[in-house]
């Protein structure tokens, strides 16, 4: 009577890696998420500036808010 224990290494090919149609869907979903991440990251600058100006902020404040967003994005890239 021998007991065999099947160990699944996290590096083995059968460790939940999607294959076939699931791999295509996973890639498409990933690309969809990446697109919306970057879209949301860059769309607020052209929308935020006129909105803040409409609320009565000075041009200096509008430029400061836009620059603040850009500087935070640059600091995340490093």
* Mean pLDDT, contiguous 10-residue spans, the chain (78 residues): 55 58 88 89 78 90 79 63
d(CA 45, CA 4): 60
**Model pLDDT, residue 5:** 56
**Model pLDDT, residue 30:** 94
d(CA 65, CA 50): 12
**Model pLDDT, residue 23:** 82
**Model pLDDT, residue 31:** 94
**Model pLDDT, residue 35:** 92
State both tokens at 43.
């769309």
Tell if the pTM clears 0.85, that is, is over it: no
- Residue (of 49, 41, 46) closest to 77 by Cα position: 41
Where helices occur in 1-78 by DSSP H, the ranges are 21-54, 59-77
């Amino acid at each position: 009577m021998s007991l065999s224990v099947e160990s699944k290494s996290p590096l083995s090919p059968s460790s939940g890696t999607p294959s076939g149609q699931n791999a295509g869907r996973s890639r498409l979903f990933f690309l969809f998420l990446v697109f919306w991440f970057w879209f949301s990251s860059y769309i607020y600058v052209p929308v935020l500036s006129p909105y803040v100006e409409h609320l009565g902020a000075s041009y200096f404040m509008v430029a400061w808010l836009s620059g603040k967003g850009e500087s935070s994005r640059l600091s995340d890239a490093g």
